[in-house]
């Protein structure tokens, strides 16, 4: 290598080393080398903002169930008999004690009259025996025999009266009778269905809710129900009973609710969709749903403070049309980015757009 070339390499190496040392010294002292131009400032981003507002939020749970009558029974015959009278019309509303069916009773009435006559005769004999016993004309054994006849006669009358009562079927409670299953002159056997009787002035419904609802369930909670048979109509009721056990298979608890049905529009067996307000919060924190930024399983909002957007993790509550409840993370009045979230990061300086946010 020529001497001149060697000298050139040494000079270049010395120059580079000196420049590097100078640059290192400048950074070590917290100074940047002067290049004649200022470092660029971080640009601000224009965004639309909105403030978190207070609002009323209701936690609602939904289920399905089947309508049941407040009271319901299948009316059946107790004895064998021939239908002699029918005291109702199909679909008629009856009161407790109204006659529904009467069976042929001539023989039973005759037997009852005979039993009553025999009882009167036994009682007269007992009275005479009592008088004669005082004078010693009747033995104690004879007196006891007569007294036994009176007891047997009274039991016979009572039995015949019960049999005669069984020849009449009356309504056990007020309600509406269903279709008639017998006709005049039919010979029916014990257990034969005559008709049905339902008290539909109030309707009961049993439905199931997941066990996570147990903590908020209580008797008296308002319940609303809807039927596909009456679009647009809502029936209002209340929780009347809560089961004491959770089903280990379905992990649900059974709930009984009761609804007013004065017009009789709901019929036992109808399918109903039920909704219940489990909790109500008067001052919930609400924001527009579009402001929420999802990231994996977490949710965030960009909260603007002193012109800087801060990414804040939140916990969502109930969802409303167009809005969402924030259960944790921000407070009422906080200013959040509504539109422009895709352009900001945590710590980005922002300017508020003049365009109305809403």
* 242 in any annotated domain: yes
Q: Is the pLDDT higher at 253 or at 216?
A: 253
Domain's final residue, options 232, 256, 281: 281
What is the arrangement of strands in the sheet containing 187-188, beginning at the earlier edge strand?
168-170, 99-103, 81-86, 187-188
Look at residue 35 in the predicted model and tell me its pLDDT: 47
Q: Which band of pLDDT confidence, cut at 50, 70 and 90, is reported for residue 355?
A: low
Look at residue 41 in the predicted model and tell me its pLDDT: 59
Look at residue 22 in the predicted model and tell me its pLDDT: 47
Look at residue 28 in the predicted model and tell me its pLDDT: 44
* 358 in any annotated domain: no
* 41 in any annotated domain: no
Q: Which band of pLDDT confidence, cut at 50, 70 and 90, is reported for residue 278?
A: confident
Q: Roughly how many angstroms between the first and final C-alpha of the chain, as a whole number? A: 78
Look at residue 304 in the predicted model and tell me its pLDDT: 94
Residues 100 and 182 reside in one and the same domain = yes
pLDDT at 32 over 60: no
Look at residue 15 in the predicted model and tell me its pLDDT: 52
Residue-wise pLDDT tens digits, 281-332: 888 999 999 999 999 899 999 999 999 999 999 999 888 889 999 999 999 9
Residues 205 and 186 reside in one and the same domain = no
Task: State the CATH number of the domain containing residue 336.
Answer: 2.40.420.20
pLDDT at 180 over 70: yes
Task: State the CATH number of the domain containing residue 179.
Answer: 1.10.287.470
SS3 annotation, the chain: CCHHHHHHHHHHHHHHHHHHHHHHHHHHCCCCCCCCCCCCCCCCEEEEEEECEEEEEEEEEEEEEEEEEEEEEEEECCCCEEEEEECCCCCCEECCCCEEEEECCHHHHHHHHHHHHHHHHHHHHHHHHHHHHHHCCCCHHHHHHHHHHHHHHHHHHHHHHHHHHHCEEECCCCEEECCCCCCCCCEECCCCEEEEEEEEEEEEEEEEEEHHHHHHCCCCCEEEEECCCCCCCCEEEEEEEEEEEEECCCCEEEEEEEEECCCCCCCCCCEEEEEEEEEEEEEEEEEEHHHCEEECCEEEEEEEECCEEEEEEEEEEEEECCEEEEEECCCCCCEEEEECHHHCCCCCEEEECCCCCC
Domain residue limits at 333: 46-54+283-352
Q: What is the mean pLDDT of the chain?
A: 83
Residues 218 and 182 reside in one and the same domain = no
Residues 87 and 188 reside in one and the same domain = yes
What Å distances lie between residue 320 and 62, 98, 297, 313, CA to CA?
15, 53, 20, 20
Residue-wise pLDDT tens digits, 134-162: 777 777 777 778 788 888 888 888 877 77
Residues 96 and 134 reside in one and the same domain = yes
The tokens of 291 are what?
Answer: 């402001």
* 274 in any annotated domain: yes
pLDDT at 85 over 50: yes
In 3D, which of 172, 149, 199, 175 has the Cα closest to residue 75? 172
**Total domain count, the chain:** 4
* 165 in any annotated domain: yes
Question: pTM value?
Answer: 0.57
Residues 205 and 183 reside in one and the same domain = no
Domain's final residue, options 225, 255, 281: 281
């Amino acid at each position: 290598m020529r001497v001149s070339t060697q000298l050139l390499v040494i000079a270049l190496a010395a120059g580079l080393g000196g420049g590097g040392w100078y640059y290192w010294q400048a950074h070590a002292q917290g100074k940047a080398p002067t290049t004649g131009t200022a470092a660029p400032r971080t640009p601000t981003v224009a965004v639309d903002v909105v403030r978190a507002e207070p609002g009323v939020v209701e936690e609602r749970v939904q289920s399905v169930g089947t309508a049941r009558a407040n009271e319901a029974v299948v009316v059946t015959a107790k004895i064998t008999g021939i239908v002699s009278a029918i005291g109702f019309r199909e679909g008629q509303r009856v009161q407790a004690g109204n006659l529904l069916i009467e069976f042929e009773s001539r023989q039973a009435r005759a037997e009852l009259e005979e039993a009553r006559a025999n009882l009167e005769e036994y009682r007269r004999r007992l009275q005479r025996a009592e008088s004669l016993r005082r004078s010693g004309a009747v033995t104690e054994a004879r007196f006891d025999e007569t007294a036994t006849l009176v007891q047997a006669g009274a039991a016979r009358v009572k039995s015949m009266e019960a049999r005669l009562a069984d020849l009449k079927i009356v309504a056990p409670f007020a309600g509406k009778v269903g279709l008639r299953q017998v006709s005049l002159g039919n010979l029916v056997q014990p257990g034969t269905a005559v008709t049905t009787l339902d008290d539909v002035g109030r309707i009961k419904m049993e439905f199931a809710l997941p066990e996570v609802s147990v903590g908020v369930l209580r008797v008296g909670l308002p319940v609303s129900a809807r039927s596909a048979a009456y679009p647009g109509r809502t029936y209002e009721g209340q929780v009347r009973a809560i089961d004491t056990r959770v089903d280990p298979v379905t992990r649900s608890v059974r709930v009984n609710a009761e609804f007013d049905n004065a017009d009789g529009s709901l019929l036992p067996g109808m399918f109903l969709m039920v909704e219940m307000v489990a909790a109500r919060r008067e001052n919930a924190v609400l924001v527009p749903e579009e402001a929420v930024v999802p990231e994996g399983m977490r949710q965030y909002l960009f909260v603007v403070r002193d012109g800087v957007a801060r990414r804040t993790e939140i916990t969502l509550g109930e969802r409303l049309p167009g809005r969402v409840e924030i259960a944790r993370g921000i407070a009422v009045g906080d200013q959040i980015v509504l539109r422009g979230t895709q352009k900001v990061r945590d710590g980005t300086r922002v300017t508020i757009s003049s365009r109305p946010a809403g």
